[in-house]
Amino acid sequence: MKQYIKPFLTTFSIALFLYTMYTQNEKITELKTVAVKQDKLVDSLRDELFQSQTANGRYELTLDYLKDNNLKCYEQVKNFYEKETE
């Protein structure tokens, strides 16, 4: 009986090891897929942020221009922005 225990335990250990490797590979593949999706989402959000920052910069430059060249118009825009768009 002792002669069968060692080969059985060896076979069982190898099978358990291979099963563990297989399940870990599946999890790694799944995590890589999730990471790629998150990278795409981050890139998309960066693009949207850049566009928003560009639009805000243009808005600020326009207000500065109006402040220097047409103070009445600047005051009207500022008043509308602060009080009418809530």
47-60 pLDDT, tens digit per residue, is: 999 999 999 999 99
More confident residue, 63 or 85: 63
Mean pLDDT, the chain, integer: 92
19-31 pLDDT, tens digit per residue, is: 999 899 999 999 9
Q: Give me the domain span that covers residue 37.
A: 2-83
Q: What percent of the chain has pLDDT over 90?
A: 69
**pTM of the predicted model as reported, rounded to 2 decimal places:** 0.60
DSSP string computed for 16-62: HHHHHHHHHHHHHHHHHHHHHHHHHHHHHHHHHHHHHHHHHHHHHHH
Contacts of 78 (CB under 8 A, 6+ apart): 63
pLDDT at 86: 67
Structural domain total, the chain: 1
Choose the weakest-confidence range: 5-19, 22-36, 43-57.
Answer: 5-19
